[in-house]
A = this chain, B = another copy of it.
Amino acid sequence: MTTATLADALGELKAALGAKVTENDTIREHHSKDESFHLASMPDAVVFAESIADIATTLKICNAHRIPVTPFGAGTSLEANSTPIHGGVSLDVSRMDAIVRVDSSDLDCTVQPGVRRKALNEHLAKFGLFFPVDPGADATIGGMAATGASGTTTVKYGAMKELVLGLTVVTANGEIVTTSRRARKTSAGYDLTHLFVGSEGTLGVIGEITLKVFGIPEVIAAATMQFPSVRHAVDAVIEVIQFGIGVARIELLDADAVSAVNCYSQTDLPEQALLLMEFHGSEESTRIDIAATREVLERHGGTGLRQTTDEAERRKLWQARHDTSLACRSLVPNARNFATDVCVPISRLSDCIEETQRDLAASGLYGPIIGHVGDGNFHVVLSVDPNDHETVAKMEEFHTRLVRRALAMEGTCTGEHGIGVGKSITSSMNSECPPYRRWRRSSRPSTHTGS
């Protein structure tokens, strides 16, 4: 990309899209980063798409001039998934925030990519419906589909992979592809929907999404129970899953995470390994599910069952869980969070977490652990001052060991955050230069004056 081709492309973009194209510094700055620890990188321009046609126009022009395009939603990703490290155009779809249709007979809805998950759920509630995937942040549905996101309810309802029924995608040359019709089942041809979910914008830009939705359960009951160790808790979860007991959420917090949460969210949770659970169903079925779960958990050393169906109390508990990262970060001055995201077969989860805890202790790193244990996925929340280079280096070495440990256990480096820029750099970790510095060094100087 030369300055001349960039100028030509921007000229054509402005001719076609007018004020939707901007080179404003504040806006470019906003599109240079996400919520992660990773370094920022400015785009040369931002295009605010308002339709699939706008996306197609942008891609056609940029493709003709070989200008990089990076899609952008809410900027809530954790691996610099939306950071334009090669400059070029940040293609912002946040203005495409219409909920196109909701069908309560077919239990599906179609949305534009810029719809945020909380807004979607507010709208769906009018129909007695909800969309379960909750990656913590109030992300866009487009971003969640592109990342292959999941969350605390995946153990019952599935991840984006399971809940995206169809997509309209614009490929790099501006072609518009619909990946599926609206039937629940099909054996007709290649499954392009799944190919695009989790492809992080590398195969095309998502222009519309059809999602599976669910009826809001009659009763939602939350419960907590503490354990002598993480292993006790995880072994209990394995058995709950094996028995097919209907848990809608089953989240692990280790003692450090509970302490951080208590401090930040003014909760009084017992500071031990803790399982936070939720049960969805009827009065009768949730009662049965809780009793069955309790029996299994007690057999594994679980104690102190607390439960509630009170909505305010329940919301407070889950808000506290979702704020764990903030809670941990608040304990370290000037900290940013480095999110790890390994996922292993559930039979290896206790081993993986215990080895990781020993590794943390040996490294002298503070790293509370939270886990979507029903899925085998856990996060070590590493809060660090980016200017504390010694700790950053230690943390990166720890992360490499963590990923290798998960891979050796037939697991993956990322259960739900995606590869982004962060993990594509980390994956070549043998260099002596830590990735966050390497990135800065290798990243192309922007062709835009003033950046």
Residues of A at the B interface (CB closer than 8 Å) are: 103-108, 147-150, 154, 159, 161-162, 181-191, 193-195, 197-199, 203, 214-215, 217, 238, 241-244, 282, 284-285, 288, 292, 341, 343-347, 372, 375-377, 406-407, 410-419, 423
| CB contact between A194 and one of B194, B242, B417, B418 (< 8 Å): that residue | B194
24 contacts between A and B (CB under 8 A): A105-B242, A106-B347, A107-B242, A147-B187, A161-B191, A181-B412, A182-B411, A183-B345, A185-B372, A185-B376, A185-B377, A187-B198, A187-B412, A187-B415, A188-B423, A189-B198, A189-B419, A191-B194, A191-B197, A194-B195, A214-B244, A282-B288, A282-B292, A285-B285
Residues of B within 8 A of A187 (CB): 147-150, 198, 341, 412, 414-419
CB distance from A233 to the nearest CB of B (A): 15
CB distance from A30 to the nearest CB of B (A): 25
CB distance from A285 to the nearest CB of B (A): 6
Do A185 and B343 have beta carbons less than 8 Å apart? yes
Do B107 and A184 have beta carbons less than 8 Å apart? no
18 additional contacts (CB under 8 A) given A183-B411, A186-B412 = A106-B346, A107-B242, A162-B162, A181-B412, A183-B343, A183-B345, A183-B377, A183-B410, A183-B415, A184-B376, A186-B414, A187-B415, A187-B417, A188-B413, A189-B198, A195-B195, A215-B243, A284-B288
Residues of B within 8 A of A191 (CB): 148, 161, 194-195, 197-198
Residues of B within 8 A of A372 (CB): 185
Residues of B within 8 A of A199 (CB): 190
Residue of B nearest to A241 (CB): B107
Do A217 and B244 have beta carbons less than 8 Å apart? yes
| CB contact between A188 and one of B162, B376, B412 (< 8 Å): that residue | B412
Residue of B nearest to A108 (CB): B345
Number of copies: 2
CA distance A412 to B187 in the complex (A): 8
Residues of B within 8 A of A161 (CB): 191
Residues of B within 8 A of A376 (CB): 183-185
Residues of B within 8 A of A186 (CB): 148, 343, 412, 414-415
Q: With A190-B195, A194-B195, A244-B214 given, is the CB distance from A185 to B345 under 8 Å?
A: no
Q: With A104-B242, A194-B194, A217-B244 given, is the CB distance from A346 to B413 under 8 Å?
A: no
CB distance from A370 to the nearest CB of B (A): 15
Residues of B within 8 A of A407 (CB): 181
Residues of B within 8 A of A238 (CB): 105
Residues of B within 8 A of A154 (CB): 185
Do A419 and B181 have beta carbons less than 8 Å apart? no
CA distance A360 to B417 in the complex (A): 52
